[in-house]
Structure 1
Amino acid sequence: MPNTDQTYSTSDLSRKSGDIIAEALRHPVTITQRNKPRLVLLNIEDYRRLKARADTRHSGTIETTPATLLDEIEAAVDSYAEDDEAAR
């Protein structure tokens, strides 16, 4: 996907929305507010491609980890410790 190489202000978006949308259909466009990037407009195909590649991992805590996974982790740690002891 091409980099956003064109930048418009929110005022530009109000005045030239049709032109900016037409440009965003070709490549991502950055919209700034008070000279800071705030939004990126991109076509639906680029959006779907980004969304499909998104990282779906979630973080959790020990309390939210399933017991079966904790058992597997414990077994792996025990096995590693036994192997380490045997190597000494």
Structure 2
Amino acid sequence: MPRSGGSYTTSELSRKSGDIIAEALRRPVTITQRNKPRLVLLNIEDYERLTRQLDSRSAGTIETMSDGLFAEFENAVETYAQEDESGKP
């Protein structure tokens, strides 16, 4: 019988792997060791969704910044430099 909350110990994972995997196909399952969460088992669709979200981040360069964002960046750098020169924030 699965525990409520989808949390199992590593010992339970050894003994009941089939049941725990079946539950992990429906919802994420936490595996604990010495009463601390150590692992999460989740279905491949959830995993792929999470990795796609990470991949949606993008990086840019100063050359690709909008003029407004570049102006904010430039002002922040100038303010920091002035504070550093005066020795006071």
Higher relative contact order (CA 8 A, sep 6+): 1
Where in structure 2 are the equivalents of 1:53-64 lying within 5 Å? Answer: 53-54=53-54, 56=57
Counterpart residue number, 1:22: 22
Q: Give structure 1 regions of 4+ aligned residues with deviation exceeding 3 angstroms.
A: 55-58, 66-69
TM-score where L is the length of structure 2: 0.59
Q: Which runs of 5+ in 1 are unaligned?
A: 59-65, 82-88
Percent identity between matched residues is: 62
Alignment size in residue pairs: 67
Where in structure 2 are the equivalents of 1:35-74 lying within 5 Å? Answer: 35-54=35-54, 56=57
Counterpart residue number, 2:82: none
1:38-66 residue CA offsets vs partner (Å, 9 max, x unmatched): 000000000000110116457xxxxxxx7
Q: Cα gap change, 1:29/1:68 in structure 2, threshold over 3 Å: closer, same or farther?
A: same
Residue aligned with 1:40, SS: strand
Residue aligned with 2:38, SS: strand
TM-score where L is the length of structure 1: 0.60
Q: Cα gap change, 1:67/1:26 in structure 2, threshold over 3 Å: closer, same or farther?
A: closer
